Structure 1
Amino acid sequence: MSIANEIKAINESARKIHGSDIHILVCRCIHFGNDDNLIIISGKNHHLAALDFVKVTPGAILTEEFRPEVVWDVDDVSPAHTVSVVTF
């Protein structure tokens, strides 16, 4: 299975358990040549999804980050929200 398919499968599994708005974004990955792995988990139940991820990932560290509102254009605003960040 390719890494893209593995990431897709993890997202699908997390959505089944924690809600359809859960999104896992891979920001850094040893597979891509980085020194570590970093994922951002967003969605209503991001913290619970991140806790599940940390439980099965040796050495994982969970933190939460607040993202302020971003106004891209008059009709395009990203509301303020909190996300879970996992490094391992």
Structure 2
Amino acid sequence: MTTLTQKVQILLTDEQHRALLKLVKARGKPLSVLLREAVVDKLLIEARQAAKRKAFEEIAAMSLPVAEWPEMEDEIEREHTAELPAAQAGSRKRP
């Protein structure tokens, strides 16, 4: 289990606090656990997804040379075959 070493303090309205206490009772978890889970579920996961989305958009925006599939497939096959030991390379059959 990870050691928890950082403390965060938040201020809530009475209404927010009562609502959280109802959730605590319904779920049978301490308030700290409930809040920690909410932070991870909402904020940290959203941050990771945003980073992945940004990386995808950057890759998609790249202007990369792309050939037609048969040509790309041949190139992949040539490169893969070149990396195989001679005995294996000769035994590969294309579908």
Superposition TM-score tier, normalisation by shorter sequence: under 0.3
Quick check: which one's strand share is greater?
1
Q: Whose Rg is larger?
A: 2
Relative contact order, higher structure (CA 8 A, sep 6+): 1
Q: With the length of structure 1 as denominator, give the TM-score of the two structures.
A: 0.21
Quick check: which one's helix share is greater?
2
Q: With the length of structure 2 as denominator, give the TM-score of the two structures.
A: 0.20
